[in-house]
Structure 1
Amino acid sequence: MDLSTRRIAARRPFGGAPDRAAAQDALTGITLSHIVLPLENPLSDAKVLTGRQSPLSAVDILACEAVSENGHRGMGFAYTLRAGGSGMFALACEVADRILSHDPNDIGRLWERLRWQTNSLGQGGMSYQTIGAFDTALWDMKARAAGLPLAKLLGAHHDSMRIYNSQGQYLQASVDEMKAAADRSIGLGIGGIKMKVGQPDGQEDLKRIQAMRDHLPDHIAFMVDANQQWDRAYALQFGRIVDEMGLAFIEEPLDALDFEGHADLARNLATPIATGEMLTSPTEAIQLAQQAACDVSQVDALRIGGVTPFLKAMAMAEAHRIQIAPHWLMELHVHLAAAFPEAPWIEHFHWLEPLFDERLDIADGRVAVPTRPGLGLTLSSKARDWTVASQDIGEGGRP
């Protein structure tokens, strides 16, 4: 047969083909907001002590409020620390109209459409974090339209999960301040305490760990977080010293992308190794699991692009028998982790609480999965006050 007469199978184009026959609804408006949420006190971890970063004094939030032709609403958000908030807002304003008039139920299709619109920026990073705000709003809308909490829409395995606190044990805190903060957390019903390590003087780290270990009740889990500050040899040495202390995990002992090094630590230490919070694409999250680079995956849904890619990363963790303890964002991750079969950890931070009118229920070391439809969140009046820029696309999505 002549090449010119051979038939080529028709292929659907990437990034969301313009096939609208099954459309049941349409996005008519989106409101985007850049919110700068101030923290009560600047915070320092090992990256600050080594001069790599400045103390954290605020969190930049990209909020996305969407409305559909049928009157359904959804609210999602993304975030960045120290830099990039204005860039994420500008990018979101630039691409938002690419999903207007499309069916909001086709979340996977719209995620791909936005991915291809931002492809020149790379597959990950700021582009995916910006997409995460749209994606989360669409999942919120879908669950609200169904009258279900997002956890139930995804297929929840849990009505409550273990929760640990990461907020009061930063490196700028004294031992007495860490103990007091831990006592307050335990008083709130939190079941685990995580402290920062990674100081230039490792002996100081060990003294602080021992002081906290001695202070905490036996039923309270205890974790440490090095924020990527060690090399492989030091991490192995440190891990062997603390292996007898019964830590729930050691977090980010190495560079976030050193999958091989983390895998070696996981094989050679009794203490579980946790990492994954700094990954910025579903590809990296999948590699983390495939390379057995941790015992506990801390992949952050909004850093890898939202709920849609997180579900893929979570399925990969399940397939490789890896536990999960998603990074930060308890208001979102409480829904997503509920759909994981094994017992996850949820990370407690109250930083984002002022953004929303609602609060999570915490007691007896566990956090309850909200029963309100969708994420069960509404932006507060404080969030409106902290808004430094906003843009309506289409008819706007603000109530």
Structure 2
Amino acid sequence: MEHFIKDIRLFRTVSDLSKPIADSTHSINRIAFYVAETELENGITGQGYLLAFHYSRNAVEGALRDIRAFVLEKGYTVYETVRLKQEYDEETEYFGTNGLQKWACAIINVAMWDAWGRTLGVPVWKLLGTDSRRIPVYGSGGWLSYSDEELVDEVLGYKKRGFTAVKIKVGSGLGVDHDLHRLRKCREALGSDVRIMMDANQGMDVPSALELSQKAISLGIQWFEEPVQNTDYAGYEFLRNKCGIALAMGEREYDCEALKSLIARNALDMWQPDLIRIGGVEEWRNSAALAISYNIPVLPHYYKDYDVPLLCTVSRVAGAESFDWIDGIIDNTMRVENGFAYPREGAGWGFSFKKECLEELGV
């Protein structure tokens, strides 16, 4: 019985770097998270977290409370991650398994993997088998809400810390020339030895994305993330054939259906699964396996502290996205040096949220 889940505790927390930011489609006023902590009969705990910003607080918390009750009522051992997903999919089918139901299941999945790794005294990436011991990483940000000075300060800060690639936001709505102005500012500040990528967060139409791409080629832009809406497969196909810059997408997807459609159209260069949105460790790896089987490298969305260990277990990697948002509220920040991130050697995911930074939810 020592491997059974005894309790699940739920918490809110806020980044110590929280401030208002904006991309082409969202104004974000709070960088906030939810944390789930599973406790086993043997006393070992494991944590998982999701990025929630300020959105749908009551709905998110309700979904988390629902799955907590489900897990504790049904009873699961810590390694029954697949069984839990299958049975929770059946439980939630009436209202749809995609959306918040999947987010909630995924955060428990991640916490279970953490607790299982800690039970065995092994990092998750070693449990799964490795292909690499370090992963290329890029500094992410470049928010549209930044002034030119703030934008340049951020990218130069990444360069000073040893990052060799950065990503900035485009699709401001102020026209292609405004986006090009911001890209040029970054290129002038960084010189030629730092790679630059751009991300429209689905905020452009095909003609403007094509125009920006063709004009940005001379600046050495490496790839273009979510230039248009994630369901516009024809748009991705057209852009990939015409724009001259590699295309990346995937963070909005709850399954592999978009990936399959884009593969069929030969319309994608890099696959970007979001660990929580797609449903947890197994579903992330399933999607990566499909992408890699078609020679499409994996470039996950946001969750560096989970993605770096997982990327160490797959064979074709484009890189990992790096934000500093949880670094000040966890006990063990990830090592990033000279453009690479290194998986932690500690058991499980190798880090925990600081207790003093967590506000427990009532259940």
AA in 2 matched with 1:275: M
Inter-partner Cα distance in structure 1 for 2:116 and 2:360: 28
Inter-partner Cα distance in structure 1 for 2:160 and 2:5: 44
| 1:38 Cα deviation after fit | 6.2
Alignment of 1:104-143 (within 5 A): 104-143=78-117
| 1:282 Cα deviation after fit | 4.5
Corresponding residue to 2:331 among 350, 357, 364 = 357
3-state DSSP of counterpart to 1:350? coil
CA contact (8 A) 1:252 1:275 kept: yes
Alignment of 1:234-249 (within 5 A): 234-249=208-223
Aligned to 2:46: 74
| 1:24 Cα deviation after fit | 8.0
Inter-partner Cα distance in structure 2 for 1:118 and 1:283: 20
Range 69-78 or range 314-323, more displaced: 69-78
CA contact (8 A) 1:247 1:271 kept: yes
Alignment of 1:20-99 (within 5 A): 25-37=3-15, 39-47=17-25, 53=26, 55-99=27-71
| 1:86 Cα deviation after fit | 2.7
Residues 135-162 of structure 1, C-alpha deviation per residue, up to 9 Å, x if partnerless? 1011112222222211111222121111
| 1:203 Cα deviation after fit | 0.9
CA contact (8 A) 1:34 1:85 kept: no
| 1:99 Cα deviation after fit | 2.4
Range 244-253 or range 361-370, more displaced: 244-253
| 1:347 Cα deviation after fit | 0.8
Inter-partner Cα distance in structure 2 for 1:366 and 1:260: 34
Q: Identical aligned pairs, as a percentage?
A: 24
- Seen in structure 2, the aligned counterparts of structure 1 residues 192 and 360 have a Cα distance that, compared at 3 Å, is same
AA in 2 matched with 1:89: E
- Seen in structure 2, the aligned counterparts of structure 1 residues 145 and 284 have a Cα distance that, compared at 3 Å, is farther
AA in 2 matched with 1:88: V
CA contact (8 A) 2:18 2:31 kept: no
Give the structure with higher Rg (CA).
Answer: 1
Alignment of 1:288-327 (within 5 A): 288-327=262-301
AA in 2 matched with 1:42: P
Confirm or deny that 1:343 pairs with 2:317.
Answer: yes
Using the size of structure 1 for normalisation, the TM-score is 0.84
Residues 341-360 of structure 1, C-alpha deviation per residue, up to 9 Å, x if partnerless? 12331111111223311101
What stretches of structure 1 of length at least 5 have no aligned partner?
1-22, 48-52, 392-399
| 1:234 Cα deviation after fit | 2.0
Give the paired residue count: 360
Inter-partner Cα distance in structure 1 for 2:244 and 2:305: 31
AA in 2 matched with 1:173: Y
3-state DSSP of counterpart to 1:302? helix
Alignment of 1:122-201 (within 5 A): 122-167=96-141, 169-199=142-172, 200-201=174-175
3-state DSSP of counterpart to 2:58? helix
Inter-partner Cα distance in structure 2 for 1:107 and 1:311: 13
Inter-partner Cα distance in structure 2 for 1:98 and 1:176: 49
AA in 2 matched with 1:171: L
Residues 52-106 of structure 1, C-alpha deviation per residue, up to 9 Å, x if partnerless? x4x3121342211112234442211223233123322222212323323222212
Inter-partner Cα distance in structure 1 for 2:197 and 2:248: 10
AA in 2 matched with 1:206: L
What stretches of structure 2 of length at least 5 have no aligned partner?
none
Using the size of structure 2 for normalisation, the TM-score is 0.92
Inter-partner Cα distance in structure 2 for 1:273 and 1:286: 15
Residues 357-396 of structure 1, C-alpha deviation per residue, up to 9 Å, x if partnerless? 1101111111111111111111113422xx26243xxxxx
Range 288-297 or range 223-232, more displaced: 288-297
Inter-partner Cα distance in structure 1 for 2:47 and 2:339: 29
Inter-partner Cα distance in structure 2 for 1:78 and 1:121: 21
- Seen in structure 2, the aligned counterparts of structure 1 residues 374 and 221 have a Cα distance that, compared at 3 Å, is same
| 1:301 Cα deviation after fit | 0.7
RMSD: 2.1
Confirm or deny that 1:276 pairs with 2:254.
Answer: no
Moved over 6 A (4+): none
